[in-house]
Amino acid sequence: MCCGNRLIEISRISACRRRHAKGGGSEVAKKNKPAAGHGAATAAVQLLIAAGVEFSEHPYEHDPRSDSYGLEAAQALGLDAEQVFKTLVVQADAGRDHGLVVGVVPVNKQLDLKAIAAAVGAKKVAMAPVPLVERTTGYVVGGVSPLGQKRLLRTVIDDSAEGFEKVFVSGGRRGFDLGLDPHDLRRLTEGSFAAISR
């Protein structure tokens, strides 16, 4: 992935409007337990179970030829692009964890680097190198969840997520989302909401 219009798309979050609150966009959603046939529970799933929050699982078939994980998720789950969020990792000029900060924005928008820098009190930020992101989070690109990271990174979620009752975050591997209340997402990531997309 490159910078600019094709930011490092680490993971994606899709949000379901109130009209989709029951079941979201997937027929295979299952609440509060790992989906059968999808291997061992990821760190993200384990965190949600331990926290005792309600969540649902939404696996889909990942196409390795896809160059946009977020748009692929939106299409596979039958959601509008504005309902699907992607997670991008940036590196601030200073700070803990090599200055890494997670920004979560809709897939049809771009991360506003100036806005996220202001949100975390940094002078400037740039897209973080993929190897550093994978080493720090414990996930691979395209399957990085904001939940259950190896090291909990500072997280800023675009405030448009607050307009939905349920959001879907990467479950920790490509082709696998987890649905939960956006305020549970904020709490479990120890994150914040801010206007960081354009």
What are the pLDDT digits (tens) for 100-148? Answer: 999 988 878 899 999 999 999 999 999 999 999 999 999 999 888 999 9
Q: Is residue 27 part of a domain?
A: yes
Give residue 82's domain range: 11-194
Using an 8 Å Cβ cutoff, are 88 and 9 in contact? Answer: yes
Q: Is residue 48 part of a domain?
A: yes
Q: Is residue 38 part of a domain?
A: yes
Q: Is residue 5 part of a domain?
A: no
- The total of structural domains in the chain comes to 1
Taking the chain (198 residues) in consecutive chunks of 10 residues, what is each chunk's mean pLDDT? 43 44 42 51 95 92 86 85 85 80 89 97 94 93 90 95 88 88 95 97
Buried b (16+ CB within 10 A) or exposed e, 27-36: eebeeeebbe
Q: Is residue 3 part of a domain?
A: no
pTM, rounded to two decimals: 0.78
Q: Is residue 186 part of a domain?
A: yes
pLDDT at 92: 92
Nearest partner of 89 among 41, 175, 149, 45, judged by Cα: 149
Q: Is residue 2 part of a domain?
A: no
Q: Cα–Cα distance between 163 and 114 in angstroms, integer? A: 23
Q: Cα–Cα distance between 53 and 120 in angstroms, integer? A: 27
Q: Is residue 63 part of a domain?
A: yes
